[in-house]
Structure 1
Amino acid sequence: MEDRIISVVSGASRGLGRAAAHRLATMDGYLVVATARNPDDLEPLRSKLAISGHVVEPHQLDITDDASVIALRDWIAGRFGRVDVLINNAGILIDRHSTSILELPLEQVRETLETNLIGTLRLTQALVPLMRSSRAGRVVNLASSMGQLAEMDAGTPAYRMSKTALNALTRILAAELAGTRIKVNSVCPGWCRTDLGGPEAPRLPEEGVECVVWAATLPEDGPTGGFFRDCQPIPW
């Protein structure tokens, strides 16, 4: 059986997902399954890592599609027999900062929740059972301070609600898995210079994933059911 730490990253073709996949793939003992809706978009990541002698396993994944998620699960089960790390990174932002919740098209809410919440739950339901064979499973949900109830504000309502719901998923899953070797946490990477974050963002993706990688590699006595930024707990 594969003795490396099998790590799955959704939305790994760009931004924070790509940075997380790259970082884990260069760490000793990790094998990264990098996923994207279009697997051809993963070729720059694969070829860049190959130059330095590192390997990723590219695989197609659309978290909004049942058949795509099942195909990934079955491929992983057949090839590795387990999952050790799941980084739920894939997400969308389609409503802008100036959008009023009173004028928000409901279709934007549905589309946002379908990816950011339901898609993440779909993938989690498929892969966490494979984590029960892991010596130390880790689930990391890419959340945002925009989903914090403690600091909730107006603007970008669909995205905000989806990230608040994602944090609820983190808490529920962590509670269900209490007493197992699986840890579940939400991470806010900060405002990063990605397609979603925009060019004005102060952080590079490589900086934003520091806390993501920390949560993915927590020791046995590490936290679960928490919300973190810069590896420090923040209010829900």
Structure 2
Amino acid sequence: MVVLTARDEKRGLEALEKLKESGLSDHLVFHRLDVADPATITCLADFVKNRFGKLDILVNNAGIGGSTMNHEALKAAKVSGTEADVEAVWSKVLIETYELAEECLKINYYGAKTTAEALIPLLQLSDSPRIVNISSSMGKLQYIPSEQRKEALRDADTGEKIDELITEFLKDFKEGSLESKGWPTFLSAYTISKVAMNAYTRIL
């Protein structure tokens, strides 16, 4: 049995119906989950415990980009006519704000972490438990400019250390000092969220 989740219940149920049309109706059930809302995580854990008694596999795939699109800049880039021109203006096409960065980390990293921690007791009851955390090529340490930052993220061996680095990143983002402090400046929050996810996965 697969428990399909989504924060938007309407869209989640629509997805469930489409999957049922494929002949999977006996193997699917929907439950609302917003990884940014701890109450819904607890509710999901209770549902799985009461309905199934255990959990075999958890797939963490909730995620957002941490930026919004400047459509005028994108249109201008397309009109210019070459791929090189488009690449040159990506920093203008994708707009990042502190609020978006905070939300990105809340969902991509903290949401996955909180969900995993809530469901680990049920996974431990399985004979073959698995946690699958969906990451990204942007989560590679090569996208971290500072060697000191790379080392800190690579060597972080507790959730608390990862959390401290994220808190520091958000502080520097808010102060406008990402570049001078050795953080990535393009898709910065998304990159850090995936690097942090990779680090957390290693210590699970």
Range of TM-score over shorter length? 0.5 to 0.7
Aligned counterpart in structure 2 of residue 53 of structure 1, from 17, 23, 27: 23
Aligned to 2:118: 126
Alpha-carbon distance in 1 for matches of 2:99, 2:8: 24
In the TM superposition, residue 154 of structure 1 has moved relative to its aligned partner by: 5.0
Do the aligned partners of 1:92 and 1:112 also contact (CA within 8 Å) in 2? yes
Matched, 1:98 2:78: no
Alpha-carbon distance in 2 for matches of 1:60, 1:104: 29
Do the aligned partners of 1:95 and 1:157 also contact (CA within 8 Å) in 2? no
Which structure shows the bigger proportion of residues in helix conformation? 2
Q: Report 1:63-74 matches (<5 A).
A: 63-74=35-46
In the TM superposition, residue 58 of structure 1 has moved relative to its aligned partner by: 0.6
In the TM superposition, residue 143 of structure 1 has moved relative to its aligned partner by: 0.5
Alpha-carbon distance in 1 for matches of 2:190, 2:56: 28
Alpha-carbon distance in 1 for matches of 2:63, 2:96: 19
Q: Deviations 1:182-236 (Å, cap 9, x if unpaired)? A: xxxxxxxxxxxxxxxxxxxxxxxxxxxxxxxxxxxxxxxxxxxxxxxxxxxxxxx
Q: Deviations 1:151-182 (Å, cap 9, x if unpaired)? A: 55752111011110010110111xxxxxxxxx
Give the TM-score, by structure 2 length. Answer: 0.64
Q: Deviations 1:67-119 (Å, cap 9, x if unpaired)? A: 110000001100101110111000111326516xxx95332221111111111
Q: Aligned with 2:59: secondary structure?
A: strand
Q: Aligned with 2:131: secondary structure?
A: strand
Alpha-carbon distance in 1 for matches of 2:110, 2:47: 22
Alpha-carbon distance in 1 for matches of 2:99, 2:10: 29
Note closer, same or farther for the CA distance 1:36–1:154 as it changes in structure 2 (3 Å cut). same
Unaligned stretches of 5+ residues in structure 2:
69-89, 145-183
Give the TM-score, by structure 1 length. Answer: 0.55
Do the aligned partners of 2:143 and 2:191 also contact (CA within 8 Å) in 1? no
In the TM superposition, residue 128 of structure 1 has moved relative to its aligned partner by: 1.3
Aligned to 1:138: 130
Aligned counterpart in structure 2 of residue 148 of structure 1, from 118, 140, 143: 140
User: Partner amino acid for 1:98?
Assistant: S
In the TM superposition, residue 57 of structure 1 has moved relative to its aligned partner by: 0.5
User: Partner amino acid for 1:111?
Assistant: E
Alpha-carbon distance in 1 for matches of 2:103, 2:23: 39
Task: Specify the structure having the higher radius of gyration (Cα).
Answer: 2
Structure showing greater relative contact order (alpha-carbon pairs closer than 8 Å, 6 or more residues apart): 2
How large is the RMSD of aligned CA atoms in angstroms?
Answer: 2.1
**Percent identity, aligned pairs only?**
40
Alpha-carbon distance in 1 for matches of 2:67, 2:8: 23
Aligned to 1:113: 105
Matched positions, count? 141
Alpha-carbon distance in 2 for matches of 1:109, 1:45: 28
Q: Deviations 1:102-158 (Å, cap 9, x if unpaired)? A: x95332221111111111111001111100111101111110111101355752111
Matched, 1:159 2:201: no
Do the aligned partners of 2:66 and 2:96 also contact (CA within 8 Å) in 1? no
User: Partner amino acid for 1:77?
Assistant: K
Which structure shows the bigger proportion of residues in strand conformation? 1
Alpha-carbon distance in 2 for matches of 1:95, 1:51: 35
Note closer, same or farther for the CA distance 1:50–1:172 as it changes in structure 2 (3 Å cut). same
